[in-house]
Structure 1
Amino acid sequence: KQHRCIDAFSVWLMSSMKPSQAFSSSLMRRSSSLARSVSTLFLRSSSVLPRRSFSGSSDVKRKAVMVAATGQHHGKTTVTLGMVHKLLERGKKVSYQKPVGQQTVPVICQGKELQVDRDVDIFKHVWPQLVGSYSDASPVAFPPGFTRMVLDGKVQTRDLVQRCRESFARLVEASDYVVVEGTGHIGVGSIIDLNNAQVAAELQLDVVIVAPGGLGVSFDVLAANHALLKEHGVRLKGVVLNKVEEKKKEMIEHYYRKALQRIDVPLLGVIPSDADLPLLSMKSFTRLLNAQFLSCQDKELRFFRRTRLIVNPGDLPLQIPANSLFILHSSRADSLQALIHQHKIAREGEGKDLACGVIVFGPERVSDADIAGLEQEGIPMLYVSKKDFDGTGFTLLEKVMGHTHKHHKADIERIVRTCQHVGQHIDLDAIIA
């Protein structure tokens, strides 16, 4: 059964609501435009929905699992990518769902614009063969101000839960396996009674938690997340450790496994750190800094192993290391020209592409001649205007260095590498058993 890319909930709402169930026009007039649009999607009758048992609920546990994490940036999406990749390699019909999304992007499907979670957009772009519609993959996506609307009673949590249930049921029916990704740590969403533990309980899912490599702190945070799962009657199926230092991998795996044995939870994967996977690309910086490309936008996925701030001409090394990102003020035309010159020498004399990049900030305009030189050498440059950033070069460097890599749907090469890396270090058979 194929699911069309339409907002099925909206269609159901319009067809099933009786006039007596609708809100009065006076109330709707008092609501904000955002409230009106979300109310159209989510509001139904006032009856409380009982928790529904899926037909063959034991089959649901064999056909689906939720991947959650102990915190943001711990590798939940990374592990989910690896799982989906391995399942598809086995010839399975796979569905992916992010029941509750916080960061939305617009997608066009059959001429209609939908707001879906950004991770759903990534998975659907990388694997168009995934079973299910966009609306079923992202049944609840939070627009700005959504939490306040729930607390004000303009949106009812029970209606969001029902939407998650119905979307999930369609995916389970149509596929061999459903990989459900949570949002942040287990407690995210508690303010509207829709945290990851509550969603897993409603969908009758076991949970695999991704935790950071380490021992004491990692396990302490895991224990707090596990407690919330137990409060809602959700089984912790296992743990995957991510970003484990290679030199400590054997030791951490040994002792983490011993610690988990005390709570009768298996260790399902130990993923070592890969130095290149978390590196930031030029594309990442465009969003972080609200920057614009002045040269070589076709190299937006280039990433860098080192970052250097150029304050004075002498700060530019005599031999530029490959894969370097340089940050400099727009008044430092001399340093920019020296960089172009050194890059040209390496390219013409040694046949090397240094694969560098530049971020320029400040009020001065970069000359057309310098932009042409960067284009000729294949060096991408971003410009951050004074209106978007009024700090010092050190502040900008700190912002760049403190940013965490997020997957981009266009960066197929790195996503494939991520899938292969994860696939080598997780026990998929145990996860889906």
Structure 2
Amino acid sequence: MCKKIFIAATGQNCGKTTTSVSLLHLARKKYPRVGFIKPFGPKRMTYLGRSVDVDAALIAHVYDMEDRLELMSPVVLDAYTTRDFLENRKDPQVYLDKIVKAVETLEKECDFLIIEGAGHSGVGSVMGMNNAQLASWLEAPVLMVTGAGVGNVIDVVHLNLALFREFGTEVRMILPNKLVKNKRKKTLKYIEYAFEDTDIKVVGGFNYSPILADPTLKYLAELLELDLHGPKDQGSRIVHNVQLAAPATQRVVDLLQESSLVIVTSSRDEVLVMLSTLYHLPEYKKKIAGLIIVGVAPVADIVQRVIDDSDIPYIRTEATTAEVYTRIREDVAKIGVDDEEKIQLIQRLAESELDFDLIDSIF
């Protein structure tokens, strides 16, 4: 019989996909056949010639499941799906039938199946199949991933629990994630207090990790919808800091921190030349992740030659510094198919920070 776990969350960017990657990694050590499905995916990408959800593509790539990709991502939304659904009064049963059929097939093939929801419990309501409904229809008990903290976590969990209870869905576990290491024990203790009169178990997730939280150069280029210039192998480099090259050149250099992405106006020749030159030096290569060159003014020919000769990764845009900086700061990086360093770290941390036997026993 297949064991099913529905991975839900109190909101976006809590760590559902990180949790899925972790549990699948650990489950493969215990179960001979493991599987994954993202019933409906709000973020579409083309992978191996198919339109699939980004999380399904990631899992398929990491765990060599490409041959089951169609089952892993049965319904993928696009920018027009919800409007088309509402305008034409489509029957959600059309989508649900695809999802149920895919789950039934995977259940026959797997001993352990992760079903990953999308966003908070109410996501999908516009199409008549939110996460709470799906978990109920698929008869899958729920693991709810939350962010860190105490009061806010308890509040948002109760908010989401209301919808799960409305549809008779069993929430068995809360997994607070991105915990502050020196506050981990106290945080988990107080959340346990809040749910001690229920059947819901509280199990700690990952501690906060800058490597997991911060974006790669490739991710930022895709976010800005621009090309990343320079060596292709630098696309997976993780950006820990974003710095504005507003002060004098020497001050810009003095302020460099570990793996900084520096936003530089195209007319600041002296900063561009200085950073490109320093990139040749090992101690500065650690500090300079790359450049985003902004502004409508063209980069001087000789400066462009210095940049190209240095092999420093860079992104070029005519947008303003404020536009680029705001876009980056408002985004939260998701793990992508090419983020090998992050994926390997997740798998290592899963073995030390997650109690899989306890989680497995709860489900």
TM-score if structure 1 supplies the norm length? Answer: 0.78
| Shift, 1:274, TM fit | 1.1
Task: Choose 1 or 2 for highest CA Rg.
Answer: 1
- After TM superposition, give the deviation of residue 207 of structure 1 in Å: 0.5
Report whether the alignment pairs 1:405 with 2:341. no
| 1:363 alignment partner AA | V
- Counterpart residue number, 2:183: 248
Judged with a 3 Å threshold, the aligned counterparts in structure 2 of structure 1 residues 310 and 209 are, in CA distance, closer, same or farther, namely same
* Number of aligned residues: 360
Partner of 1:382: 315
Q: Note if contact 2:266-2:294 (Cα within 8 Å) is conserved in structure 1.
A: yes
Give, in whole Å, the separation in 2 of the partners of 1:243 and 1:278.
9
Q: CA RMSD in A?
A: 2.1
1:200 aligned counterpart, secondary structure: helix
Residues 236 and 339, structure 2, Cα contact 8 Å, conserved in 1:
yes
Per-residue CA deviation, residues 147-171 of structure 1 (Å, 9 max, x unaligned), is 1222233632012111111110000
Q: Are 1:302 and 1:355, in contact at CA under 8 Å, matched by a contact in 2?
A: no
Distance change (3 Å), C-alpha of 1:354 and 1:206: same
How is 1:54-133 mapped onto 2 (pairs within 5 angstroms)? 59-60=1-2, 63-90=3-30, 92-108=32-48, 113-129=49-65, 133=68
Of the three residues 263, 270, 275, the one matched with 2:198 is 263
Which residue number corresponds to residue 192 of structure 1? 127
1:382-410: per-residue Cα shift (whole Å, max 9, x none)?
111x2xx3x4x234223222321111101
SS in 1 for 2:212: coil
**Unpaired segments ≥5 residues, structure 1:** 1-58
Q: Any unmatched runs of 5+ in structure 2? A: none
Residue 360 in 1 paired to residue 270 in 2?
Answer: no
Q: Once structures 1 and 2 are overlaid, which stretch shifts more, 192-201 or 361-370?
A: 361-370
Question: For 1:50-82, what per-residue CA distance to the aligned partner results, in whole angstroms no more than 9, with x for missing partners?
Answer: xxxxxxxxx45xx11100100001111111110
Cα contact 1:309–1:326 (8 A) shared by 2: yes
1:253 to partner: Cα distance: 1.2
AA partner of residue 147 (structure 2)? P
Corresponding residue for residue 77 of structure 2? 142
What SS is found at the alignment partner of 2:32? coil
* Alpha carbons 1:296, 1:375 under 8 Å: kept: no
- Cα distance, 1:259 vs. partner? 1.2
Post-superposition offset of 1:432: 3.0
Q: 1:129 to 1:376 in 2, by over 3 A?
A: same
Contact 2:146 2:174 in 1 (8 A): yes
SS at 1:133 equivalent: helix
Over 3 Å counting, the alpha-carbon distance change for 1:255 and 1:155 in structure 2 is same
Partner amino acid, structure 1, of 2:56: V
Identity score, percent: 25
* Alpha-carbon distance in structure 2 between the residues aligned to 1:356 and 1:203: 45
Matches within 5 A, 1:419-430: 419-430=347-358
Q: Does 1:224 align with 2:159?
A: yes
Whether the 8 Å CA contact 1:253–1:270 is kept in 2: the answer is no
- The whole-number CA distance in structure 1 between the counterparts of 2:176 and 2:307 is 42
Secondary structure of 1:210's counterpart equals strand
Q: Give the whole-Å Cα distance in 1 for the aligned partners of 2:354 and 2:86.
A: 40
1:378 deviates by: 3.6
Contact 1:101–1:116 (Cα < 8 Å) also in 2: yes
How many angstroms does 1:429 deviate by? 2.4
Aligned partner of residue 236 in structure 2, secondary structure: coil
Moved >6 Å (runs of 4+): none
Deviation digits for residues 284-343 of structure 1, max 9, x if unmatched?
211221222333343111122222111243441247444111101111111111112333
